[in-house]
């Protein structure tokens, strides 16, 4: 290692989505194998769900599982002075998350611990103004103008990059709470902090972003979804992934010793391809990464090295994810058994829709699925024989909640008035739920203004969350 070069920083990801295994982050921290624990909670629609929660309670809108997880991490924070935690659990309300976390830490006698809050991703309030000033926010895939849904927007969050996270760590934060940031930023932020990279060292930024991409979905890098799943040791105790990111941008992907699952060239390579588009241009707010120059090689048991990442300057536009209300939806399922199960199920599904139509409600969108008869990947994978039992699944969407309510009441009558051999009525009526539309767009970087605020846990615990006017303290450092 050249003089002045710091050792690799070990970044473990203990959550790949909201709802992931609750023990995984605790096990990663207790393993002592990580310098940084990250928790990635925000899928495309999560912020819209949080918007719904915040609309009913101004102190809500963050991942409310996280303070409980933090409480379980207190012994590790006490025992490992250098341990840092970085998470997008802040969701739509990182300040409220900081207040809840501050209370947890203060109660545990750790009121001095510095908590950073990163904001600036939530641009819902500015959108209409930007639209009026002529900034195009067309749908990336369809090209439609935002005016089509502007009156129904639930959330609008721009993907921030790693710099506010690096700035937070540089300023001494031990817990960093963000809203929407690019998933790879949770890994690049601490790596850039450790190795003091310049924000124009694109190959290095690319290397840490690749490592972040490899671990962002948690156990998908360590044997989750693996085709030879039956051969993996202790899948029940699957280890969550650790990226050891070196100063040259290369990384080793591994997992805690003694944990289940496996880290192989295969598991890592498959995960590198997960949810990417053009591999020569994997876009992040900090760097455009070229995956085609990567090489992946085994360096030991459950240790796989990724090398050769190259990067270029990122776009001057950032991805903006808007979620809008799109009517109501509901889904009901019943079991169908016997000879001609598929035929009976399809007929029963049609009956439900006919009866709702006779009651005066027709649906622009409805779907009858026969699970077991080849409908999970419709028209692609068919069973070899006619199934003797299937699950009938009927779904509808409508602008009007009343129509969906009516549909929800129409499954039970099949018990006495449909084909024989239909079961499962005891599980209750389906419930209407809001349907959400996803609207990805691009926003000029110059409009986005990330902000970092750092306070001791006890100060956050005493803070009152207000939605005051925001001033930009870190302009241009997205």
Partner 1 sequence: MGADKQSVRLGELAHARSGDKGNTANIGVVANDDASYALLRAHLTDAAVADFLRGLGIGKVRRYELPRLRAFNFVIEKALGGGASRSLRLDTQGKALGVALLELCLSVPEGDRPVVPEDDCPTLPEDDCPTSAAEGRA
Sites of contact with partner 1 (CB under 8 A):
43-45, 48, 140-141, 220, 225-227, 266, 269-280, 291-296, 308, 323, 326, 329, 331, 365-367, 369, 371, 375-381, 393, 395-397, 435-438, 440
DSSP H/E element including 153: strand 153-158
Sheet of 303-307, strand order: 295-300, 303-307, 251-254, 242-245, 9-13, 36-39, 84-87, 175-177, 114-119, 451-456
- Residue 375 falls in which region: left (phi positive, over 0), alpha (psi -120 to 50) or beta: alpha
In the complex with partner 1, which residue's Cβ is closer, 81 or 277? Answer: 277
Looking at the chain, how many residues does it have? Answer: 478
In the complex with partner 1, which residue's Cβ is closer, 1 or 228? Answer: 228
Q: How far is the CB of 220 from partner 1 (least distance, A)?
A: 8
Torsion, CA 440, CA 442, CA 448, CA 454, rounded to 10: 40
- Token pair 């006698």 is found at 109
CA angle 64, 65, 69 (to 5 degrees): 130
Q: How far is the CB of 59 from partner 1 (least distance, A)?
A: 26
Q: How far is the CB of 185 from partner 1 (least distance, A)?
A: 17
Q: How far is the CB of 131 from partner 1 (least distance, A)?
A: 20
Name the β-bridge partners of 465.
none
The 8-class DSSP code of residue 43 comes to -
In the complex with partner 1, which residue's Cβ is closer, 43 or 431? Answer: 43
Q: How far is the CB of 440 from partner 1 (least distance, A)?
A: 6
In the complex with partner 1, which residue's Cβ is closer, 49 or 457? Answer: 49
In the complex with partner 1, which residue's Cβ is closer, 129 or 274? Answer: 274
Q: How far is the CB of 378 from partner 1 (least distance, A)?
A: 6
326: its two tokens:
């799109």
In the complex with partner 1, which residue's Cβ is closer, 49 or 192? Answer: 49
Q: How far is Cα 382 from Cα 14, in angstroms, rounded to an integer?
A: 37
């Amino acid at each position: 290692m050249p003089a002045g070069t710091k050792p690799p920083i070990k970044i473990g990801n203990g959550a790949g989505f909201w709802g992931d295994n609750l023990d995984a982050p605790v096990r990663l921290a207790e393993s002592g194998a990580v310098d940084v624990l990250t928790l990635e909670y925000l899928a495309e629609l999560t912020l819209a769900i949080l918007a719904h929660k915040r609309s009913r309670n101004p102190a809500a809108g963050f991942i409310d599982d996280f303070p409980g997880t933090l409480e379980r991490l207190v012994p590790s924070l006490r025992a490992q002075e250098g341990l840092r935690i970085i998470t997008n659990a802040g969701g739509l309300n990182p300040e409220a998350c900081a207040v809840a976390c501050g209370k947890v830490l203060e109660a545990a006698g750790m009121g001095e611990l510095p908590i950073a809050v990163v904001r600036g991703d939530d641009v819902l309030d500015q959108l209409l103004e930007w639209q009026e000033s002529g900034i195009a926010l067309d749908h990336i895939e369809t090209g439609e103008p935002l005016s089509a849904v502007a009156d129904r927007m639930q959330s609008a969050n721009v993907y921030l990059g790693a710099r506010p996270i690096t700035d937070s760590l540089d300023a001494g934060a031990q817990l960093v709470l963000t809203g929407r940031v690019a998933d790879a930023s949770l890994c690049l932020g601490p790596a850039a902090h450790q190795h003091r990279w310049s924000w124009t060292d694109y190959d290095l930024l690319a290397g840490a972003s690749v490592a972040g991409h490899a671990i962002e979905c948690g156990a998908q890098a360590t044997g989750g979804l693996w085709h030879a799943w039956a051969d993996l040791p202790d899948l029940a105790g699957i280890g969550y992934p650790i990226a050891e990111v070196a100063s040259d941008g290369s990384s080793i992907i591994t997992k805690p010793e003694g944990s289940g699952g496996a880290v192989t060239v295969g598991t890592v390579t498959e995960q590198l391809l997960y949810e990417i588009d053009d591999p020569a241009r994997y876009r992040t707010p900090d760097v455009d990464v070229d995956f085609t120059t990567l090489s992946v090689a085994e360096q030991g048991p459950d240790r796989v090295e990724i090398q050769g990442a190259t990067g270029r300057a990122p776009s001057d536009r950032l991805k903006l994810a808007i979620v809008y209300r799109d009517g109501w939806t509901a889904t009901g399922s019943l079991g169908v058994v016997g000879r001609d199960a598929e035929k009976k199920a399809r007929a029963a599904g049609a009956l439900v829709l006919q009866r709702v139509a006779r009651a005066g409600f027709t649906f622009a969108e409805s779907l009858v699925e026969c699970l077991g008869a080849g409908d999970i990947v419709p028209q692609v994978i068919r069973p070899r024989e006619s199934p003797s039992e299937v699950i009938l699944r009927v779904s509808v969407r409508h602008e009007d909640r009343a129509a969906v309510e009516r549909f929800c009441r129409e499954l039970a009558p099949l018990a006495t008035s449909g084909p024989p051999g239909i079961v499962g009525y005891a599980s209750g009526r389906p419930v209407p739920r809001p349907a959400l539309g996803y609207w990805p767009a691009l926003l000029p970087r110059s409009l986005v203004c990330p902000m970092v605020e750092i306070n001791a846990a006890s100060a956050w615990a005493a803070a009152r969350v207000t939605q005051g006017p925001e001033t930009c303290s870190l302009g241009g450092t997205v």
